[in-house]
Amino acid sequence: MSNVNQNSWFEKGMSFAAYKESMNVNKEELSRVYDQLTFTEEDLAFWKELSQRNWKGVVLTADWCGDASLCVPVIQRIAEESNIELRFLIRDENLELMDQYLTNGTARAIPIFIFLDQDGYEARVWGPRSPEVQEMITTARAGLPAADAPDFEEKQKELYRNFKQKISTDPAIWRTVIESVKAKLQG
């Protein structure tokens, strides 16, 4: 947990509506997940309880990111139910913040959700994927040819295209994000 006040990053971020409006690549996928996502009664009770914390959040993301087309709408909906205002920052325009949240200490993987307490200090961090989605992509990548193979680039593009299609249309995958975020926020 960072003991650095992150309010200035929150203030710099854009609203969900502004972020969505700025999108050119994955807007359709993000909108589909946002519009079709449903919560259980248990989820709704937890989000209501969470709303008592008076949190807000900063999201590091980018329109081109397939994981963001899944996680941003799911967590935006969670935030709306939990009375958490999220603000969105584009990763490559905010590397000073991004570099504080590297995945495995090296990767600028997104999206990253930084939940802030009412004073603006980091309370929880989640991202870039649920463990189940990470396992899916790890398994899929294992089936790719060697990086120097002539068909590697073509096969990799196909893998990511199929992966993006699956994660933006399968409610069971959306549920893994809900459960993973819920587990992170319960602490």
Kindly tell me if the per-residue pLDDT of 1 is higher than 60. no
Name the band, by pLDDT with cuts 50, 70 and 90, for residue 104. Answer: confident
Q: What is the mean pLDDT of residues 44-70?
A: 96
CATH label of the domain that carries residue 92: 3.40.30.10
pTM passes above 0.75: yes
In a domain, 1, yes or no: no
Task: For residue 128, tell me if it sits in a domain.
Answer: yes
Question: Which tens digits make up the pLDDT trace of 125-156?
Answer: 999 999 999 999 999 999 999 999 999 999 99
Domain of 159, in residue numbers: 6-185
As for how many domains the chain has, the answer is 1
| pLDDT higher than 80, residue 92 | yes
Which amino acid, residue 159? L
Distance in angstroms (rounded) separating the CA atoms of residues 94 and 185: 25
Q: What is the average pLDDT score of the chain?
A: 95
Query: Is 101 a domain residue?
Result: yes
Let me know how long the chain is.
Answer: 187
CA distance 185 to 187: 6
* pLDDT computed for residue 4 by the predictor: 82
Residue 93 belongs to a domain: yes
